[in-house]
Structures are given as C-alpha cells and as structure tokens.
Structure 1
Amino acid sequence: MGSRKGLIIVTLLALMPALPALAQETIKIGSSLGLTGYGSATDGHWRDGLAVAIEAVNKQGGVLGKKLELVTEDNKSTPQQAVVVYRKMMSEDKVVAFDSGCISAGNFAAASFVAKAKLPMFLCSILPRQPEEIKWAFQFLPPPKYEVDTRYQYLKDKTEIRKVGILSDPSPYSMLMRGLAEKGAEEFGIKVVASETYQQDDADFSVQIGRINAAGAEAIIMLGQGNAVVTVANNIRSLGLTRMLMLGSINELDILQAAGKVLGEQYLFPSPLIQIAADDISVITDQKARAAAEPFVKAMKDKYGRTDNAQASRAWDSIMMMAAAMKKANSTEGEAVRTAFEQLGRYDGAGASYEFTAEQHIGITANPYVIAWVKDGKLVLRK
C-alpha cells in the first residue's frame, strides 16, 4: 500500500507543470576589477565609488522595488583572468550589467561575449574596438586626448619648454595616449625628441631617462600609473636633472603625493577638480557641479575618511546613471537599459558632466582636467 501511494505521488508530480524559477531578490551588478597587480590602486578606488553609490541608491529605496547588489571579482590586472571572472559573474551570479574597472585589456578581452549576451558594460577604461562591442559599452573615462592636451597647453602657456620626451608603459590606454602625444605636440608648438617605453614591473628607468635627456628634452611626459611614477621621480632626482620637468598622467592620490614629495614643483600632473576637492570643495566653482559633488564627497568621507575621489567619483556617477536608466526603462533587461541610458540626456555628475547618446558612448565631452602639483602633501591648482 505504501509503495502504491508513493508511486501515485511521483506520477502526479511528473504531470504538474514546472514551477517558474524564483525571481532574484536583488539586482546584481558585476564588476571586474584589478584588485591585485598593477591596477590595484586605481580599481580599488573605483570599487569604493561603486560601493558608496549602491549604498546611497539602496537608502533611497533601490531600483524598481529591489536593492542593488554589487558582485566584485579580482581579475588580477590581467586579461586572461578578466575573461574568467566575467564568465563566472554571467553564468553563476546572473548579473544584469557590468560596471568594471580601469584594466582596458581585460575589458577588451571580455567585450565580445558580453556583447553577445546583450549586457551593458559601464567602464572606467577606454572602449573596446569592435562596433558591436562598442554598442554595449559606455566609457566614463575622459578621452585620452584631454589628458595629453592639458599638459601641452600648460607647457605652451606657462613655460618656455618646447622639447619633450615621452616615457610610456605598454597598456592599451598608455599606447593610445602615446600616439596622441606624438601626433599632437606640433599643434602646441612642441617637438617630441625622444620616445621610450618600460614594463610595469621595471625597477629602474635611468637608462630611458638618460636617453631622453641626451636627446635634448626639457620635460618628460610620463604615460603610466602606479609605483613606476615614483620610481621615475626618484631616478630624475638621483640623476641630478634639477631642471627636468616631469608631467605625469592622471593617478592615484597616494602616488601623486609620493612623487610630489620627491620632486616638489618639478612634478606636475593633470587632475580633475573633484580630486582636489577632497581637501577643498571650494575649488569647484560651478554651482551645478558642486551640488552634484557634495553628496558624493560626504559619502566617501563618512565611509572611508580622506580618500581619492578621481576614479571613485565617476564610479559613483556610473551607478547613479545606471539606476536612472533602469527606472526610465522600468526594466533591468539589457537592451532596454542600454536604450534608456542613451536617452538620459545631459547628466551633471560628481566627477564630470556626461552626454551619452546612441552614437556617442564616450560620455565626457568637455575637458575636465587642470594642472596640479603637491604642496605640503595636498593637491593644489598650478596657476
């Protein structure tokens, strides 16, 4: 009797229609980040900006009745590992969009299969190269030309320096800037007399700096980030090049401070105002920009204390805009979110103002950089 009853129950279960899968209780946003390796400082700040933005959105009720949930994976600053973590977040975590860090090569490596899955990618890095991949990717990094032009404009307007040498690492972003720097110098009446490269794990750059100096350069345009910047600063000092100006790339606060401690006013760099505003919010004189920046600056100070706002501010903006697009679309479905994002119009954020459209996936269309230096451990405008 017992076995017969069991058979009846199994038969009835087999005939029942399948129950729908339980909907996710949160909206999962994936982020591929170089939390170890050469990109760890940059991507660590991007992660911090994502975290405070998601907390802020959730405190305001979330999106479409659900909380946002950040899923982060360490790509170890390599494209091979980026592919692994992107696939993992898609297959296991079921993320509905990506908001990833600044490792361009890793984002490039994953872009083809993310695009095929029709998932939007909001990126700290430059865009991937293929049109179908660009269709699904949105760049929150200012165009590299702005960073190059800011340095050249300063040399033209504020100095007599007209000969420079370029020192760059092999990352896609730096190589792109190197091409822009070599081609764009003439526009400012400047000549590139030497161009040298290095690897991110090199311990000394004296040979490259010596060749740049021998070529007659009066300034080094360094295209690269991380601890290599401090090494170059130390090499310039140890070589006794007291008149050699070093113009670095955008960088993390601790790197800027360390290089500035070595070279003082010899070390200049492009910086967004929000990075300087960590110490003095009054540097943001535009009222709309300051109103957008203040909640971000407060959230970062409350959670992390004094921190670097350059990358984190644009991470904050990317989440706020993503949430706005989901609300506009009334959906988290990839194509709907992408289309709504393209239709948001001008958005004044904490890190910059953005104007994304269907044809324009590089959102920052006005140069946000100023030239800064380190004075008494703080970033200040170079006038």
Structure 2
Amino acid sequence: MTFRTFIAAGLLSAVSVLAAGAAAAQETYKVGISAGLTGYAATVDRAWRDGVELAAEALNARGGVMGRKIQVIVEDNRSEPQEAVTVYRKMLSSDGAQVFVSGCVSAGNFAAAGLLVRAKVPMMLCSILPQQPDQLKWAFSTLPPAGFEVEKRLEYLRDKTQIKKVGILHDPTPYANLQKSVAEKVAAKYGIEIVAIEQYKQDDADLSVQISKMRAAGAGAVLKIGLGGTTLTAAKNIKQLGADMLLMTSLEDLAVFGPVAEVLGDKFFFVASPSQVYDALPEGPLKAEITKFLGPWKAKYGDRDPNWASRGWDGLMLTAAALEKGKSFEGSAVRDAYEGITGFQGTTGVYNFSPEVHQGITINPFVLATIVNGKIKVVQ
C-alpha cells in the first residue's frame, strides 16, 4: 500500500466512523422535560416524569417511533420560573431536545415559551397554556380545563348538601388563580355564594387566619386550590379551630390525601382523576387504556398514586401519535400533527385537538371522592 493510498484509506475510514456516529445520533428522538423535581410541585412533577419515562420504555420496547428510539432528558426547574428558563435553554442548546413533554409548573412553562417559539420546538404540557398567541401556537396540554375541577365541587355542594356559602383558599400559581376566577364566575349558577377569598404561600406553616375569616363570613366549606403540604395544614387548622366546615381540595397526589382524611374524616373531599378511581370505572375504552398504563406502572412503582404519571404517559403517547401522523420529526410538522389529533383515547379521557383547541380534554373526566377506612370512595 502506498503512502497516498494509506492516507486515502484512513480518511475514508474516518469519514465512515463520522457517518456512523451521525447515523447513530439520528436513531434517537430527544424529548425534554422541565419538571419541578424539588420545590412545591415535586410530588406531581416527579410522577409526571416517571410516567413519561415509562411511556418511553413501552415505545422503545416495540422499536420506538418510526425507527427511532425515544431518549428522555430531564432537568429540575426547582418549581421556579427563572430556573425553568435556564433548564429549557440548556436542553435546547446543549442536549438537542426536539420536543418537550414538560411538567406542571405553569409559570415556568410560560417563562420559557418564547425560547421554544424561536426554536420552533413544540411542547406538550402538564400545565395550563400560555396566553400569547405566538406562544400558544406551539403549546398543547393534557390538563383538563380548570373549570372542571371547580364545577365538580360545586355540583356536589348543590346536589348533596345544604351549604350555600363557601370560602376559596388558593396559592399564587397561575393555575390556582385561573380556578379561582372560574369559581367567581360560575358559583352563582350552582346556588353558591363565595363569601371569602384568601391567598396563601406554598411554604406557609399556618392557615388559621385565613380559615378563621372564612368561618366568620359563614362559609360552610373551603375550596382549597393548590398543591402540597398546605392541604394537611388547612385540615389541621380546621380541626383546631373546631370549625364545622368541609375541606374540598383540587387534584393532587393521593399520598397527600391519606393524612388529611385521618384528620377530617367525612368532612374531607377531593377531585379525582379516572386512574385514581380505577376500580370504580365501568368496563370500556377508558378503563382499557388505563389498564395498559397501570400494568407497567404497578410493576415498577407498586401502589403509588398513578394520576400525574398517567397524564405524563398520555403526553408522550400523544407525541408518538403526532410523529406517526405527520411522518416527520421536524418541529413544525409535529406541531401541525398535534392539531390534527382527535378521538385519542388516553388515561384521563378522550383528547380532541384542533387549530383552535390546544387543551385536548373537552369533556369533564373528574369525579369527587373521599377516603373511608383507608379506601377511596366516589361520591359525585
């Protein structure tokens, strides 16, 4: 072999290695998750992440999507909007994320939405959607409309109690404020008067001042809107005050609700998703879809609450459906394909997206439940 031939062979070999490396890089589809793995959203966002990763495992076990394996990249935004911007930027620039299936920190997703618009990368979220039209165009959500949680509680008060006055106790997050606004608009339709609205911080160790104001105003129930340990704080304060009031909380991890039920007993109610009341569901497409998720979920996580994880599972399965529908991994094509998904049976309900509707759940899937002797019981 001449020196020139040797050099040419070496160059050819190097090019082949680079080409093989490039091909290998193209064999994965990179899904980014900005999640509050620490901070107030940790309980729900850790579950969301686990659900997305479980869906990726299921998809990869059957060969991936259109020949590519799913690679999930996760960054902790610490439940803080500014930190969310940082981690979104990192996943876009350093990790090459091609789509985001991100968690429930609405403010963080809002803060980073402009980055994704400029990068032309769509996102399927656990949270509510940004309101600016250019950002909304690239954002989709598995979250049912905020009004569904509010209305389920008001329906119960109208149909099953004599309570006519309620107080609203909410945290400062965008989703909580949206629920509060809905309650203010629709309460009268259910014959309910809102006599007090009080806000709290996620790290507040005492809510007795706010609850006392509601009690003094004649509230027979507290509609608590927000996540985390403050639900137990509110329950303890109601009991310590000797207040004859129901505590009705929004969607949350069941691990939070067990101790609350021990404090308040039959005066505690919560909004529940279908996966949380699986045993009470009739046979049908919804239960069948939840079964597909619950098998691997229980095998890996046992009796851990499936709710937020099941929606994370939906988020990635919707993304896989969009990839297959659009027959492309390119951001704009995936965005367009999301808008064309209709009649998609998920674990929370049926998703129907369109150019006008980016919040896919359009029929209320929730029930109202309580816990009796450690068992979940559907009441509405």
Which SS does the other structure have where 1:22 is aligned? helix
Does the CA contact (< 8 Å) of 1:314 and 1:352 recur in 2?
Answer: no
Match of 1:22 in 2: 22
SS in 1 for 2:72: strand
Kindly state the Cα deviation for residue 338 of structure 1 after the two structures are TM-superposed. 1.3
Q: In the alignment, is the contact (CA less than 8 A) between 2:171 and 2:201 conserved in 1?
A: yes
TM-score under structure 2 length normalisation: 0.93
Aligned-partner Cα distance in 2 for 1:179–1:136: 25
- Matched residue, 1:262: 263
Q: Which amino acid aligns with 1:72?
A: V
What secondary structure sits across from 1:213 in the alignment? helix
- Contact 2:50 2:309 (C-alpha < 8 Å) held by counterparts: yes
Paired residue secondary structure (1:196): strand
1:151-230 alignment runs, 5 A limit: 151-230=153-232
Instruction: Provide runs of 4+ in structure 1 moved above 6 Å.
Output: none
Paired residue for 2:98? Answer: 96
Structure 2 distance, partners of 1:210, 1:247, is 16
> In structure 1, what is the Cα distance between the partners aligned to 2:237 and 2:348?
33
In the alignment, is the contact (CA less than 8 A) between 1:233 and 1:259 conserved in 2?
yes
Give the AA of the match of 2:97.
V
Counterpart amino acid of residue 349 in structure 1? G
Q: Over the residues paired in the alignment, what is the CA RMSD in angstroms?
A: 2.0
> Contact conserved, 1:257 with 1:378, CA < 8 A, in 2?
no
Give runs of aligned pairs for residues 323-338 of structure 1, distance below 5 A. Answer: 323-338=320-335
Q: Residue 184 of structure 1 aligns to which amino acid in structure 2?
A: V
The alignment status of 1:38 with 2:35, answered yes or no, reads: no
The superposition leaves residues 323-359 of structure 1 with CA deviations (integer Å, 9 ceiling, x where unpaired) of 1111222211011111122112210111221101121
Matches within 5 A, 1:1-383: 22-23=22-23, 24=25, 25-241=27-243, 243-277=244-278, 280=279, 283-382=280-379
TM-score normalised by the chain length of structure 1: 0.93
Q: Matched residues in 2 for 1:116 and 1:265: separation?
A: 51
- After TM superposition, give the deviation of residue 273 of structure 1 in Å: 2.0
Superposed displacement of residue 103, structure 1:
0.3
Q: CA deviation at 1:256?
A: 1.3
Q: Deviations over 1:102-121 (max 9, x none)?
A: 00000000001111111110
Identical positions, percent: 47
SS at 1:93's partner residue? Answer: coil
Aligned residue identity for 1:254:
A
Q: Output the CA distance in 1 between the equivalents of 2:377 and 2:46.
A: 23
The offset of 1:376, in angstroms, is: 2.1
User: What does the per-residue CA deviation read over 1:57-79, in whole Å, with 9 as the maximum and x for residues that have no partner?
Assistant: 11111011111011000000000
Bigger mean CA deviation after superposition, 210-219 or 284-293: 284-293
- How far, CA to CA, are the matches of 1:137 and 1:193 in structure 2? 36
C-alpha distance in 1 between matches for 2:294 and 2:373:
21
